[in-house]
Structure 1
Amino acid sequence: MRLIAILLFAVLLTGCATVRQSDLDAWVGVPVIALDTHSLLLGFPMVKTITDSGIEIRNYSEKIGVSNCAGGGFSLANSPLGNTLSYANFNAYQSCISRVVGCDGIFYIRDGKVIEAKVAGQCYTDERYRPEPGYEKFLKK
């Protein structure tokens, strides 16, 4: 009986965890400094790549064991600036982390501003996932 109650609670809890599009849309047009200084995102390993068309793609991985995907000559030093990978290494990293349970926050950036934010995997968002007030003080004037 106790096991059934625990399983029911887990199912209900999972059902409450949702991705709110409004949390992702809040990033559109926001300067990249808001990502660089965001207290939640700073706690996750981040990798980035630049596409041939000049779009920067950042992946903040909220997955346990993601460091196991750091083989192949690149590392996941948890730097605010992340690690820029070649497109081939980025694809290999993406393939590896796709097999790890958790959530990836993916941000597409052009001209220093976020043009789109997405999540992939087992994710939920709330107000903590939105840009934090105060990043403006870090903007160059």
Structure 2
Amino acid sequence: MDDLYRDFILEHYKRPRNFGELEPRDLEAHDYNPLCGDEMGVHIRLDGDRIAALRFHGHGCAISQAAASIASEELIGMRRQEAAGLDADWMLELLGIPISATRRKCALLNLKVMRGALTGDASWPPEGDDGA
């Protein structure tokens, strides 16, 4: 079963969904992981209180890029407030593979940037919290 999930991650890394710039956009945010050099930006277009379109851009490891691709498919159509309330457990469950402590920041970078765009608060997870 682990091979199936690893293939899923590699597929999203090699052929990311919703990758690129989005114009016009209503919201955007950008951040990076200084531990490994992953960088990510998120552009969001809203339709009322729903995410109508979402694109991510940047570069990084397979985990960070695949996580952004996988999450983007789930987030489009979601209500803004619901998306802003998603947590690390949601993202890690979507990935479907065990993520080591050293790779958690890679796996959660897209969630941090997306939440920053939706809420204007780029400090998630709070200091001292590893996102769990």
TM-score normalized with structure 2 length:
0.29
Higher relative contact order (CA 8 A, sep 6+): 1
Structure 1-normalised TM-score? 0.28
* Greater share of strand: 1
